[in-house]
Each structure stands twice: as structure tokens, then as C-alpha cells.
Amino acid sequence: MKFEQYDLAPGIKKSLAEAGFNRPTDIQFKSIPPILAGEDVLAIAQTGTGKTAAFVIPILNKLINVQKSEHTDISCLVLAPTRELAIQISEVFKKIGTHTRLRTICITGGVEQEAQIAAADYGIDVLVATPGRMFDLIYQKHIKITKVKILVLDEADHMLDLGFYKDIQDVKKFLPPKHQTLFFSATINEEVKKLAYSLVKNPIRIQIAPKDRVSKNITHSVAFINMDDKRFFLERLLKEHPESKVIVFVRTQVRAERVQAAMLRVEIPSVTMHGGKEQEDRTDSMDKFRSGEVKVLIATDISARGIDIEGVEYVVNYDMPELAENYVHRVGRTGRGVSKGSAISFCSLEEKSVLEEVETFLGKEINVIEITGTDYDTTLALTEDVNDNWKALLKEADAEMNPSYVPKKTKKKKK
């Protein structure tokens, strides 16, 4: 069934056609009808399957004919755990709602609130927000959510991980007794189920491909590398694929900056993305990576949730994730839709237990890249990081001590 056959407003069908949306994905096919019917929905599907459009399309269609008592009444509230995800969701609303008169506003922290206040005064149909800044503006009486008809919690499990449970409960206190609630996430656990069923009466649960936690379009592999040697192998991988978009995931903000500095020493430009950066810098990093101006994004798990960047060919787990389920969200940045992608994990000795947890969570073993001792040493010797190129220095010293010494030619390992 094509979108043109759905009972949707002409303006929405026109926007979908212009955006190249011809047929619904599985999650869209199963979610759109119950949402249009006003049902509460709990939807779980792999990342990259079109979850955002699955709720945006029916919500916009439902709101087109809504009569508001005041222009400042908000009809739909979407809560997201991170600023980047909130911005991305609002962009999807604006894109699909191009040919409607519905107005979508995004409110997040990290930036001055004056522009957001001005936007709110002008009128809002759909508010996409992170909880902190939204509550600030509610208590300052710049916005009100007492007329909200639809509440959406995107990446609900991550919101709980970040401690937003009380915020979600508080939001419900502001909303009218009768409203529609939608939960969307790539993973689900008992906490999310408990939250969902405590907030709604009879949610329709939609689960797509529960046995396959990640897209079949992704090839998974792991290489066992000493923690201190990871930067040399990252250098080699990036230089062997200079035109590919690569997201490199690390554990901490400090690690992100250090890895960026290490790549800069070997003349590989990159941008970083983490919670310690100002919002303007985070937006700039995402824009440069999305446009292809910079091919390498080094990020903490803040970027692993729901961010959709076209053309990411490789995800590198420079550090193994602290939680096994975060592996799913990280690697979901590649292999989206019908595209192919590769996920490569650098696993040190002290991280092997995490690898086992990831494999248990996935329900399968990850293919191991066999690295011979010679190839391992060759990678260290080939680095252009003059401060750490100890293998090359040893060979030079050997040559000076033995005039007859001739370095052996090494072949690069085929991928």
C-alpha cells in the first residue's frame, strides 16, 4: 500500500511525495492506523526503520482540523531525551507539515531562551522539547500544555536512564485528563513497560522484528586491540577509507577530545559531539558532519539515540559501550533504511566482559577480525604520530647499529 492510498490530507501527501516517501515502512504501516484512531500506542522497532515519521504523519493529519480556543494552545507535545534528537524530530514535523498551516517549535536547553519565548508567543501547534527547558518556560508562564491532545515520548527507555521519570509524571499532571499517549523506542525493558502501563489505560503494543535487535544491513566485527594502541588502528582505518563517513564512539567527553587530538596529529580532521560542548558548537559539529565537510564524528553515547545522518558507512566502537543495549543504538547510526553499513568494535582485554554482554544481548557472536602479530606491529609502525611512533624509531636504531639491515616490506591487510 502506498501513501497516496492512505486517507491523509492532500498537503501531507504532497509533502510525503516531495520527500520521497512512497510506501510506509513496517513500523509506519502498523502504527499509523491506531494513532489515527486515537489509540494509545507503545511501539518498539529497530533504529533506522522510520519511527519518527510513524508518529509524525498521523499526528499532523489529526491536528489539521483541530479548533483551538487560543492561538497559543499547544495540541501536541513531544518529549525527547537530548537536544539533538529534539531538533531532528522537529525538522521531520516541519518537513512533512510543509503544506499545512501547523506550526512546530523546538525548545531545548543550552541556548538563550528569548528566541524560544518569542516563538511561543507567536503560537504553537506541535511542541518538541527536552524536559528541563520546557518546565522552565511553563513555570515562567511563557507556555502552557493544559490543552495538549497528544503526548509523545520518544526514546522512552533513554529518558528513564537519564532520570526523567519524575519529569514525565509531572508532565502528566499538567495535561487534560483525556489525551492520547504514544511511546516510541528501539529497545524496551521492564521499567519502560511499567511506565507505559502506569500512564495509559489500554496501549496497543507494536513490536517489529523483536528477534533481530539490529538491522540486517549491518556487518558486525570486533578486533582485539590494546587500549593504548587503539588510536593507531583508528588512524589506519580512517586513512584506508578517506571518503567514508565514520562515527567513532567513546565513553567520555575527555576521551572524545583526546581521540580528536590524536587524529589531528596525523592530519585527520574530525569533529566532536558530547554533553560538555555548548549547543552552538554541537550544532556546528553536526552540520559539518551531516554535509560531509568533515568525514569523522567522535561522539559519546549522547549521539547514539535516534540521530539520523545520511550516508554513515562505518560506526567504530573505539570504546565498548558501558551498557550492552547502547551497542544497538550506536551501530544503528549506519545501515539505515536500505543502506549497508559496518560496525567495528575495538575491544581491549579489560573490555572482553562487555563484549560478552553485547553478544548475549544480540543473541549471536560477533565476527572476530584476526590480527597477526606482524600485522599488529605493522599498524603501529605505519602511524604518522611522531610522538608515539616507537616501532619506526626502533627500526631506525636497528639500522644504525647494523648497516646490513634491510627493513622488510609489509603488505597491508586486505579488508
Neighbours of 261 (CB within 10 A): 12
Least confident of 19-28, 163-172, 204-213, 360-369: 204-213
Cell 508567543 belongs to 121
- How crowded is residue 38: how many other Cβ atoms within 10 Å of its Cβ? 13
Hey, where are the domains in the chain? Answer: 3-207, 218-393
Segment among 287-301, 368-382, 396-410 with least mean pLDDT: 396-410
3-207 is classed CATH 3.40.50.970: no
- DSSP-derived secondary structure for 328-386: HHHHTTSS-TT--EEEEEEE-GGGHHHHHHHHHHHTSPPEE----HHHHHHHHHH---T
E strands of 201-350, at which residues? 204-207, 218-224, 245-249, 271-273, 296-299, 312-317, 341-347
Q: What is the pLDDT of residue 94?
A: 95
Which CATH code fits 218-393? 3.40.50.300
Taking only the tens place, the pLDDT of each residue in 129-151 is 988 889 889 999 888 899 999 99
The CA distance from 3 to 214, in Å, is: 26
User: Is residue 104 a contact partner of residue 74, using CB atoms and an 8 Å limit?
Assistant: no
Average pLDDT of the residues of the chain:
85
Count Cα atoms within 13 angstroms, Cβ side, for 407: 16
C-alpha cell at 105: 517549535
Give kind and range of the element (H or E) at residue 399: helix 390-401
Instruction: Give Cα 167 distance to the centre of its chain.
Output: 22
In the 8-state DSSP scheme, what is residue 99? T
Query: In this structure, is the dihedral angle defined by the CA atoms of residues 290, 294, 296 and 297, taken in order, positive or negative?
Result: negative
Q: How many CB atoms lie within 10 A of CB 269?
A: 12
Residue 204 backbone dihedrals phi, psi, to 5 degrees: -85, 120
Position 157 pLDDT exceeds 60: yes
Buried b (16+ CB within 10 A) or exposed e, 170-187: ebeeebeeebbbbbbbbb
**Is there a common fold for 3-207 and 218-393?**
yes
Instruction: Please give the pLDDT value at position 37.
Output: 93
- Which residues have C-beta within 8 Å of that of residue 35, sequence separation ≥ 6? 41, 54, 55, 58, 59, 62, 180, 182
Residue where the block lists cell 554541537? 282
pLDDT single digits (tens) 74-130: 999 999 888 888 998 999 999 999 999 999 999 998 788 888 888 888 788 999 998
171 neighbors 77 (Cβ within 8 angstroms): yes
Query: Residue 379 and residue 235: Cα distance in Å, rounded?
Result: 9
At 17-38, the pLDDT tens digits run 998 888 998 899 999 999 999 9
What tens digit of pLDDT does each residue of 243-289 get? 999 999 999 999 999 999 999 999 999 999 988 888 788 889 989 99
- Of 406 and 27, which is predicted with more confidence? 27
Per-residue pLDDT tens for 330-383?
Answer: 998 888 777 889 999 999 999 999 999 999 988 889 999 999 888 898 888 888
Percent of the chain with pLDDT over 90: 45
Could you tell me the maximum CA-CA distance found in the chain, to the nearest angstrom?
Answer: 91
pLDDT surpasses 50 at 64:
yes
| Beta carbons within 8 Å of 372's beta carbon, 6+ residues apart | none
